[in-house]
Copies of this chain bind each other. A is one copy, B any other.
Amino acid sequence: MRVEVISIGDELLLGQTVNTNASWIGQKLSLIGAEVIHGSVIRDNKTEIIDTLTSALAKADVVIITGGLGPTQDDITKSTLSEFFKTELILNNEVLERVKSFFVARGKEMLDVNIRQAFLPKSAIVLRNDMGTASGMWFEHDGKVVISLPGVPYEMKHIIQERVMERLQKQFNSEKAFHQTIQLQGIGESYFADGIKELEATLSKEGIKIAYLPSTSLLRLRFSCKDTINNKRLIGEAIKKIKSEFRNHFVGDDRKTLSEVVGELLIQQNAKLSTVESCTGGAISKEIVSVSGSSEYFEGAIVSYSNRIKNELVGVSLKSLENFGAVSQEVVEEMATFGRLKMKSDYCISVSGIAGPNGGSEVKKVGLVWIAIASADGVEARSFQFGDNRERNIISTVLTALNLLRCRLLPINKEKS
């Protein structure tokens, strides 16, 4: 099943909205062996919609269009598709009732523009939208399928999951592809690639392709191949090898975030966690709490952004702050040690650094970050020199800190200590 994704919206081309829809669709479809072969981003413009759709239908079996179905005046997709498929817009009473009840449930009044959303192309199968007022549409055309969906991400996702996936799977029976992605923290692309070059060559001979997907502080590695038992076995063995050789970097399968992996380890060990954060401003805590159920192991955090809070709330000594500065081994160790006692947790992560772009000095450059982890076994601190971009430094600190805790929690490392 070859798929083309067309994203409509001036805001995407102008860059005022990031096209997260297309990537989500790609990810979802790869699970049923469909291959997105091309993505297009076009303007809210009739001619361009028609041209792009025509050329997409020449190459793909399925075309998924997102965007341009809202109630406001800049949306023209629905009428253009009606014209393309030589059908007409008719009032769908079921949809009208749903749109009405949508407003009733929220205690709001329905506006005239929303009534327009109940007019739908006669020849289309209506894909019900329980999350909003714009319905999805499924058109059949010379054995091919064209699906039009709203651009609001959670509405689009809902319709794909509930109304599209199963229907597509039934209609097409293409050869299944297999993808598996693992992630590593704190290792560069070139270094890692050099470290596994023989493994990569071996897999390549078997038709298993490896792609490197680096992002700030994380490296994802995707294995792609035909969905056979032998291929899956080979990939399983390769991952096992990587896991043992890069233990301090290997986070796991990328369906779980680093904070989920850490959360599972904490649950297994029945341990509680807290954080004391300076330069990250609560970003580590936020990442931990993004996992549903984190209240089982997460007590809380103190964001000690000012030195006063470090001293008064956490208990860091004024002497250490004066003698060594807020970004120092001594201070970060006190933050973790006292934070752990204060919040009565088994583990406490602390960080203090210079996120930038300002605040650096000759000795302590922008990007210098101290991270400590305290537990009943004591406290350990390490320093890192990241770059000069504030946002990336914060992300790197969050991921590095979580990975240090992950390593500390690994049974093999616990045995050693």
Residues of chain A at the chain B interface (Cβ within 8 Å): 7, 10-20, 22-28, 30, 35-44, 48, 70-74, 108, 111, 113-114, 152, 154, 179, 181, 188-191, 193-194, 200, 209-215, 220, 222, 224, 254, 275, 277, 279-286, 288-290, 292-295, 298-306, 308-309, 313, 342-344, 355-358, 389-392, 394
Q: Are B27 and A113 in contact (CB under 8 A)?
A: no
Complex Cα distance, B188 from A282, in Å, reads: 29
Q: Which residues of B contact A209 (CB under 8 A)?
A: 74
What is the bound-complex CA distance between A254 and B358, given in angstroms? 24
Q: Are B286 and A113 in contact (CB under 8 A)?
A: no
This chain's copy number in the assembly: 2
Asked whether A302 and B300 contact (CB < 8 A) given A213-B17, A342-B313, the answer is yes
A18 touches B16 (CB 8 A): no
- Distance (Å) between the CB of A351 and the closest chain B CB? 12
Q: Smallest CB–CB gap between A348 and chain B, Å?
A: 13
Question: How near does chain B come to A260, taking the closest CB pair, in angstroms?
Answer: 13
Report the bound CA distance from A289 to B284 in whole Å. 13
Chain B residue at smallest Cβ distance from A282: B282
Closest to A17 in B: B213
B28, B280, B292, B392: the one contacting A357 at CB < 8 Å is: B292
Query: Is the CB–CB distance between B16 and A222 below 8 Å?
Result: yes
* Contact between chains at B41 and A22 (CB < 8 Å): yes
**Which of chain B's residues have a CB closer than 8 A to the CB of A304?**
300
- Pair B305/A194 contact, Cβ less than 8 Å: no
Which one of B18, B41, B281, B288 lies within 8 Å of A20 (CB-CB)? B18
* A358-B293 contact given A281-B286, A304-B300, CB 8 Å threshold: yes
Contacts of A71 in B (CB 8 A): 189-190, 193
CB-contact partner of A27 in B15, B215, B254, B390, under 8 A = B15
Task: List B contacts of A20 (CB < 8 A).
Answer: 18
